[in-house]
Amino acid sequence: SFLHWTYDPSTNVVDLAFRRSTPSSQWVTWALNPSGQRMAGSKCHVAFRNSTGAIRAYTSPIGSGTPTLQEGSLSFRVTNITATLVGNEWTIFARLHLYSDLHPITGDNARSVGTIDFRTGQIASNAGDFDSRQRKRNFHQFLSILMPMGAMMARYLKVFRFGNPAWFYLHVACQVSAYIIGVAGWATGIDLSSGISSLNRDYIHRNIGIALFFLATVQVFALLLRPKPDHKYRLYWNIYHWAVGYAIIVTSVFNVLKGLSLLDPEIQWWHAYIVTAISSGIISAALEAITWTIVVKRKKASEEKQNQRTNGVNEANGHAARTVRLEPEV
């Protein structure tokens, strides 16, 4: 047997030709089974010579019972199916449309749901169910705001003298609150994904969400292992805490934007998140410049004060050296 084909990946269409020499047979069939390597579930292309000698080709699905090769439609569309018999060689030609085109799964396509009672003719929209699901989507998108706020407090508020030690408690409060609400958001995301078919489910968004949940759990519980400021391992803990924290923030921003494109929330949520993200970036840049200016000024003032102390000590030592005289022994 020989199989020849041309595949167009942009349309998922296959043009094929199946050839086989059968000296004594009056029919031939070739089958494709998308569900496994067995006869049950096969999608057959059949060619035979009828009593008039004409060659005919058609499709036939095989169920779980004894195959009868009765004509029928397949799970995918087949067009241009023909067959030839030249000498002893059969050839089946066919065009296979392996996947149907899907309509969009957002906007009105997700809202066109209702209930009909055939006895009374009453039709009711399931707007309540849709609104409930929409509220879950909106809540799921809200959850990435608190954690960046907590990081900003830890980085910028502690530079100001009035912010100590309030920045630490505010930082902990924001991060723990973000984690608690994030658990609810994670559960909401799981619930939302359960209503989406596996064909349309976005596994990248889901897997990133699971990874973020794990990292946030490690980050929050790392507070219990926080060394004292003068501990020899405090530097390494600070590096770890900083790296994981900013990795969570950057990854969560990407995943929220990806989630927005998937869940198609109300347009104001798009605007709210984008404005919040841009505003946070602008505020962070401004605070970065202000706090660096304060740190540099304090460092210069500290260095000048240290120099004055050093000069004062040197002058005092020099004056003592000038006033002390050693009289020669008589």
Q: Which residues are annotated as a binding site?
A: 140, 171, 205, 241
Which residues does 112 contact at the CB level (< 8 Å), separation at least 6?
none
Rounded CA-CA distance 191/186 in Å is 9
For residues 78 and 94, is the Cβ–Cβ distance under 8 A? Answer: yes
What are the strands of the beta sheet with 55-61, ordered from one edge? Answer: 27-32, 43-49, 55-61
Give the phi and the psi of residue 123 in degrees, each rounded to 5.
-120, 130
What are the start-end ranges of the E strands in the chain? 2-8, 13-21, 27-32, 43-49, 55-61, 77-86, 89-97, 114-116, 123-125
Rounded CA-CA distance 37/31 in Å is 11
Rounded CA-CA distance 41/33 in Å is 6
Rounded CA-CA distance 274/289 in Å is 23
Annotated binding site for heme b: 140, 171, 205, 241
Reduced to 3 states (helix: H, G, I; strand: E, B; else coil), residue 37 is coil
